[in-house]
Amino acid sequence: MATKHSRMSARLMISPAVLLLLGWMLIPLSMTLYFSFLRYNLLMPGMEEFTGLTNYRYFLTDPAFFAALWNTIALVLGVLAVTVVGGILLALLLDQPFFGQGIVRILVIAPFFVMPTVSALVWKNMFMNPVNGLFAHAAKALGLQPFDFLSSAPLASIIGIVSWQWLPFATLILLTALQSLDQEQLEASEMDGAPWIKRFWYIMLPHLARSITVVILIQTIFLLSVFAEILVTTNGGPGTASTNLTYLIYMQSLLQFDVGGGSAGGVVAIILANIVAIFLMRMIGKNLDA
């Protein structure tokens, strides 16, 4: 029924959104790309000059880059492991009938709504602090030596904090998927005497496969850019022990004012994120056709 007129107005209605996003993408991106080929430090204004690939050479051979790359991968994989496995178990549990389902659900998803700086600071001070934290109190009560989480195991501690924030997301999505499972199929297999583990493996898990993929891909996008949690807990330290790529580039650009080097790092981060994005886009694109 679309007339020429309505097609015209449709195009007009889309254009503000498209133009704004196009500008938001193209302008800063081309600036990042341009800066990445310059020697450009904010502390030395007027000294900008074209240096070709020098920034990339420095950035990619810096030992801090490899540390940050490894930390980024460890952070993403660590949080994914905890939240996906934990999310599946929690979703299975919350899917069972019990008293107060609604309230427990609310309790479980709550951490997702806590802003990153609050959750990181609460965990850092009130739980992980080696003197006054609850974990230290518990250790002392058990006659153990309190453990200094953020100094001795900074990356693992941050993985813990971030996992707490993202566990609700995985749980909520997997629970939603689980509730759309055909109950008759499950009942039929139960009557046929299939043990629980078989029902889980052959019926539930395949049904959840798509949602698990969505959880992994979307979380990866966000987890590659974890920033606030590192900023307020360890500042990336000790040394580079908890510096991820996002934090490394932030330090280089806004703390050392090395615009050129930071931009080269930015380009590297964009390329890495795009590799993940391609898979995610394909998943979501398939769903659009259906």
- Of 45, 97, 193, 206, which one interacts with another protein (CB under 8 A)? 97
Query: Which residue, 78 or 266, is less far from another protein as judged by CB?
Result: 266
Q: Give the residue among 150, 172, 87, 164 at the shortest CA–CA distance from 118.
A: 164
Q: How far apart are CA 246 and CA 227, in angstroms?
A: 6
Pick the stretch among 43-51, 57-65, 76-84, 273-281 that binds another protein (CB under 8 A). 273-281
**Tokens for 257?**
């004012």
Amino acid in the structure at residue 150 = L
Which residues on neighbouring strands pair with residue 38, listed in sequence order? 50
Per CB under 8 A, contacts with another protein among 148-167 are 164, 167
From the list 67, 75, 80, 94, which residue makes contact with another protein (rule: CB under 8 A)? 94
From candidates 105, 148, 189, 199, binder to another protein by CB under 8 A = 105
Q: Which of 134, 144, 188, 255 binds another protein (CB under 8 A)?
A: 134
- Give least dist CB 240 to another protein, A: 16
Question: Among 120, 122, 142, which Cα is nearest to 132's?
Answer: 122
Q: Could you tell me how far CA 102 lies from the centroid of its own chain?
A: 27
Closest by CA to 79, choosing from 200, 256, 230, is: 230
Q: Per rule CB under 8 A, is residue 72 in the interface with another protein?
A: no
Does residue 37 interact with another protein by CB under 8 A? Answer: no
Sequence letter at residue 4: K
Q: Is 139 in the site for another protein (CB under 8 A)?
A: no
- Written as six digits, the tokens of 39 are 């020697």
Compute the CA torsion angle 242, 248, 251, 252 (nearest 10 deg). 150
Please pick, from the candidates 85, 110, 144, 255, the single residue that binds another protein as defined by CB under 8 A: 110
- Name the minimum Å distance from CB 181 to another protein: 13
- Fill in the per-residue mask, 176 to 205: x = in contact with another protein (CB under 8 A), - = not in contact: xx----------------------------
Please tell me the distance from the alpha carbon of residue 145 to that of residue 272, in angstroms, as a whole number.
Answer: 41
Of 47, 85, 126, 144, the one binding another protein (CB under 8 A) is: 126
